[in-house]
Amino acid sequence: MPVKPLALLLAATTAVSLTAAPGAAQDTEVTSTVEKKVEDDMQLPPLPEDKTVRQSVSIDGRTISYDATVGSVPVRDETGKVIGQVVYTAYTRPDAGPDRPVTFAFNGGPGASSVYLNMGAVGPKRVQFGSQGDAPSDSAIAVDNPNSWIGFTDLVFIDPIGTGFSRSLVDKEKTAKAFYANDPDIKYLSKVVFDWLVKEERLRSPKYLMGESYGGYRAPRIAYELQSQIGIGVNGLFLVSPYLDPASGAGSTALSPIPWMIDLPSMAASELERQHQLTPQAMAEVEAYTRGQFATDLLRGRSDPQAVARLVENVSRLTGLDPELVQDMGGRVDAGTYLREVHREQGLIGSIYDSNVTAYDPFPWSAQRQSNDPILDALIAPTTSAMVDFMTRVVGWKTDARYHALSYEVNQAWDRGKPDDTPVEDLRRAIANDPRMAVMIVHGWDDLSCPFFASRLIVDQMPDFGMGERVDLNVYPGGHMFYSRSDSGAAFKADARAIYTGAASGAES
């Protein structure tokens, strides 16, 4: 079973080589000279000052005015030297008091900017991407987003270093060490949240974190870092298609049935959707089979021919794949094979982010897939163009720098740590420490990059924490970016609004 992608960069094929560290034979003076020359050669123009414009959006028949700000927060090392600049986009209600909720949003990758949650999910404006039929040449004109959360919370979208316009001010080796690894990433982004709250005098506000995909890895860890190290309480977490358990994927297929169990329900959901039969009741039956007979038959293996026969029959029926193919695979169908084979007769390939979003296979006779993901290839152009147009033309935050909606270089350079490095431990600690902190995990049925069933199993293994359903799991039609479907985005908004109710007097003002 292939390694699960960390958010939006599964199909990255570009290899990037980092500058090699000086050899051991070099003395300290030479090393320092080389590093100093690298820093001297960096001639980056200064970022513009923070810029704010007044905007409005029409939602549910009423007009909501807000301030849109593009700004930056410096990142300092332990000596106080500025080593990076994090650019953010904030939407704040000018007439609300300091008790109004504020939500900080992160996308994933690693290497993804926050444009997807911003211009696709909960920001005041949106562009269409992530659904069947979307194309790179689609209009990049942003329109009012009826599913925006600006009615009940201020929103701050943060672009980590190397994404958007955020940038490092040190050489590649120092950049990788300071920014491109799991633990440093959590520490500096937590400080950015704190610095923004101080800068905007919002320490009294109820505070929420939202993370999509690898951002769903970030959010629980940032919450605990803020809570236990920096001194900021977090009122709630929204984990959108989160990447919660790296250990459940590659390396565990020799014995554990878990990887196959995690993927099967999302494959079955896609088949049910193609047959117009996708319902919560139908999926409950799929989940029951996956936890029961499917897991048992996987463990029986070839020692029980009847178990293999049951696997082939049920997996073929649930996925819509050719029984001969499923027989050849012993009932263990990986996501890559499924995405190529389920649409092969039409000459199409499916997206790992939503297997019912397809594109033509440019190399249909190749033994191996030789194309990028259909959703990734379609969304880069409209999201990049719309975001840069908004920041530079609408807000007037002028810069000559390049905007990185997705940075393959960051993804390639990332130190992912140990396979069992999971945010679930920090999630448990944060919830246990704060009985008032709410958690909502949300997924799309069809997502094979971060399948919903992984979160289902994780949530079912968590303690009660003494207050009933402390961790809520909701699944909607669609895939990784289920919010690209208007109905799913509206359902997500309605479910989330209940968490904010009563959080601050400024809500829905």
| Each residue's pLDDT tens digit, 376-385 | 888 899 999 9
Same domain, 332 and 384: no
- Are 230 and 119 part of one and the same domain? yes
The answer on pLDDT for 231 being more than 50 is yes
Q: Taking residues 464-477, report their average pLDDT.
A: 82
| pLDDT of 257 | 87
57 domain-assigned: yes
Sequence letter at residue 54: R
What is the pLDDT at residue 238? 97
Q: Are 390 and 157 in contact (CB under 8 A)?
A: no
How do residues 123-133 score in pLDDT, each as one tens digit?
Answer: 999 998 777 76
**CA-based torsion, 235, 488, 407, 421: positive or negative:** positive
Whether 408 maps to a domain, the answer reads yes
Quick one: what percent of the chain has pLDDT higher than 90? 70
Of 21-35, 113-127, 242-256, the poorest mean pLDDT is in 21-35
Q: What is the pLDDT of residue 154?
A: 97
140-154 pLDDT per residue, tens: 888 999 999 999 999
Give this prediction's pTM. Answer: 0.88
Using alpha carbons only, give the angle 278, 245, 277 rounded to the nearest 5 degrees. Answer: 5
Q: Is the pLDDT of residue 453 over 50?
A: yes
Domain count, the chain: 2
Q: Are residues 417 and 363 in the same domain?
A: no
| φ, ψ (nearest 5 deg) of residue 212 | -105, 135
Question: Are 206 and 259 contained in the same domain?
Answer: no
Does residue 479 have a pLDDT over 70? yes
What integer pLDDT is reported at residue 59 of this predicted model?
94
pLDDT of residue 29: 40
pLDDT band, very low/low/confident/very high, at 254 (cuts 50, 70, 90): low
Check whether 471 has a pLDDT greater than 80.
yes
Give dist(CA 127, CA 379) in Å, integer.
10
Query: For residue 110, is the peptide bond before it cis, meaning its omega torsion is within 30 degrees of 0?
Result: yes
Which residues contact residue 26 at a Cβ distance below 8 angstroms, ignoring those fewer than 6 apart? none
Q: What residues does 181 pair with on adjacent strands?
A: 415
Q: Which residues contact 345 (CB under 8 A, 6 or more apart)?
A: none
Q: Are 275 and 39 in contact (CB under 8 A)?
A: no
pLDDT score at 490:
96
Residue 339 predicted with pLDDT over 90:
yes
Instruction: Give the CA-trace dihedral at 321, 323, 324, 326, to 10 degrees.
Output: 70
What phi and psi values does residue 232 have, to the nearest 5 degrees? -125, 120
Structural domain ending residue among the three candidates 357, 373, 389: 373
Domain range holding 415?
40-246+380-500
CATH at 466: 3.40.50.1820
Let me know whether 387 and 347 are in one domain.
Answer: no
- Dihedral class, residue 116 (left if φ above 0, else alpha if ψ from -120 to 50, else beta): alpha
Mean pLDDT, residues 227-245 taken together: 94
Q: What are the structure tokens assigned to 107, written together?
A: 């996308």
Could you give the 3-state DSSP secondary structure of residue 461? Answer: coil
Tell me, yes or no, whether 263 and 125 share the same domain. no
- Burial of 421 per CB tally in 10 Å (0-12, 13-18, 19+): middle
My answer on whether 108 and 183 are in the same domain is: yes
Distant-in-sequence contacts of 296-301, Cβ < 8 A, 24+ apart:
297/331, 298/257, 298/260, 298/261, 298/331, 298/332, 299/257
- pLDDT by residue (tens digit) across 9-64? 433 333 333 233 333 333 334 334 434 444 444 678 889 999 999 999 999 899 99
Q: Which of 373, 402, 431 is the last residue of a domain?
A: 373
Identify whether residues 477 and 359 lie together within a single domain: no
Mean per-residue pLDDT for 340-353?
91
Examine the fold and report which residue of 318, 344, 373 is the final residue of a domain before the chain moves on: 373
Residue 75 CB neighbours (<10 A): 23
Give a yes or no: residue 315 inside a domain. yes
Least reliable range by pLDDT among 7-21, 228-242, 465-479: 7-21
Mean pLDDT of the chain: 86
What is the average pLDDT across 237-254? 75
DSSP assignments along 307-327, one per residue: HHHHHHHHHHHHH---HHHHH
- For the residues 431-452, what does the mean pLDDT come to? 94
The confidence score (pLDDT) of residue 253 equals 55
Region of poorest pLDDT, from 208-212, 263-267, 416-420: 416-420
